[in-house]
Structure 1
Amino acid sequence: MRLATFNILHGRSLTDGEVDLDRFGAAVARLDADVLALQEVDRDQPRSHGADLTAVAAEAMDAPEHRFVATLAGTPDLWSAADGELQPNTASYGIALLSRHPVLSWHALALPALTRKVPVVFPGQRVPSMVQDEPRAALAAVIEVPADDGGRPVAMTVVSTHLSFIPGWNSRQLRHLVRDLRGVPRPVVLMGDLNLEGDRAARVSRWRPLTSTNTFPLENPNRQLDHVLADGPIEATSLGRALDTGLSDHRALVVDVALAREPEHSVPASRHL
C-alpha cells in the first residue's frame, strides 16, 4: 500500500503563480497513492476556479472514498473560523483525506486553537512579528485493507492534519492529537504538514517515522516539515521519496508500507463525520 501526504498550496505552481486543475490532477495521479492526505485545500474558491480540489484529486487517483474538512470559511480577504463538524455551505479552505480502500468510519477532530496574537521571530528577522494562527483540525478514517496473506481484510486508521507554524503550539497540538487517537484501531498512521523539523515530530509524538526525507522548500529542500508517523504494526517497505510535482512550495512525501501483523483492535461499524 502506498501512502502520501502533500501540502498543495491550493494547487498553485510557484513557476507561473497559476492554479491549473488539469495540472493538479496530473500531479495527484503521478503520486499513485492508495491513501492521500492533503493540506491547504480549497473548495469553491475563486483563486482555484471555484473547484472542489478534493473531488478533483479523488477523480485523478480513482479514490471512491474522500472527505474534506474546512478550517476556514470565506475567501482569503475575509476568513472566518469553520467548525470541522458543521461544514459551511460557502467557499472554504482546509484539509482532506482520500482512500482507494473502503472507509468504515470518518472522524473530524478539532485541535487546540490559539485565539490571540503572539510574537514570532521568522528567519532573517531580529524583531518578532505579531501573528495569529488559523484554526487547525485533523481528519481520521478507519480503512479496510486486504491482508497480505490473502485472508480477511484488516482495519487500520489514517489521519491527515496541518499543524500550526507557531513554535511550541504545533507540539502542543500534536500531543493533543496523539491523545485523541489512543482508542482508534491500530495500526494508525498520521500524515501531514506538521510544521516540525527533522525528528522533532517523532520525539513529541513518540511515534515512529516511516520515512525521513526533506520536503521544504520545493527547490533544494533542506527541512522535513511533512511527516508520516506510525503507531502499531505497520512498517515501511521503501525508503520514501519527496517528489517535486511542479506545484506548491512543498514536495509531496510518498512511502510504501505493509502491515506487520494482525491489528489488535476491532473495527467500528459506524460511518460519520
Structure 2
Amino acid sequence: MAKIALGNSREILQRDFVDALVVEFICTYLFVFVGVGAVMATDKESGGSLVNLFFVGLAHALVVAVTVSAGLAISGGHINPAVTLGLAMGGHCSIIRLVLYWIDQLIASSLACLCLYYMTGGLTTPAITLGSGVGYLQGLLMEIVLTFSLLFTVYATMVDPKKGSLDGNGPILVGFVVGANILAGGAFSGASMNPARSFGPALVSWDWTDQWVYWVGPLIGGGLAGFVYENFFIVRTHQTLPRDDENY
C-alpha cells in the first residue's frame, strides 16, 4: 500500500523545489495559453464543429507533449492539479508540494488567459461548459473517466518501473491521450481533465457555469487512477534490511 507523503517546511526552502515551482508555472502558462488560444481561434474563424474539435484536440495534444517534456526533469511537468493529486495518491508527490503546485498552476492559468484577452483585443476566453443536453451527472462521469485514462497513462508510461520500451516516450503518449480524450468527450463535457485549464478562462470571462464539475470530476478521476495503479499494478521489490551483526 502506497503511503502519502506529507512533506515538511524544509522542503519549501530547497533550491530544487523553488526551481520546480518556477518551471511548473511556466509550463502551465504555456499549456493554457496554447489550449485556450486554440479554442479562441476556432471561435473567431468559421468552420465545421468537427473541424474545430479536431483543431483543438491537436493543439492540446502537441502542447501537452511539449510542456510535459520541458518540465519533466525539474517539476515533473504536471501542468494539472489532477495529475498532481494522482501522483500524490501514489506517494510520488508530498502534500506540501501538491498545495503549492495547485496555487502555482491556477495563477499561471489565470495569467495566461489574461494575456490572451489583452493580446486578442478583448476576445472572450471561453469557459468550458457542458454540451447541450448533457446533465451534471453525465458530465461528471465523463470527466472522471477521461481524467482516469489520463492518469493511468501517466503512471503506465512515466511512473511504472516496468515501462520498458516506453521509457522516454511518456510525454508524447500523454499528449496523445489528451488529444484523443478531447475528440471523444469534447462535445459532451468539454473534456477538460484539468481544473487549472477550466479555472483560468472562467475567471477572466467571469463565467462559472458548471465549474464545479471540472474540479470534482478530474480530481476524483486523477486521484482514483493514482491510487489504483500504484497499489495494484506497480510491483516494488523489497530488499532485506541489513542485520546488526553484518556490520561487524
TM tier, shorter chain? under 0.3
* Greater gyration radius: 2
Using CA pairs below 8 Å that are at least 6 residues apart, which structure has the higher relative contact order?
2
Structure (1 or 2) with the greater strand fraction:
1
The TM-score normalised by the length of structure 1 is 0.26
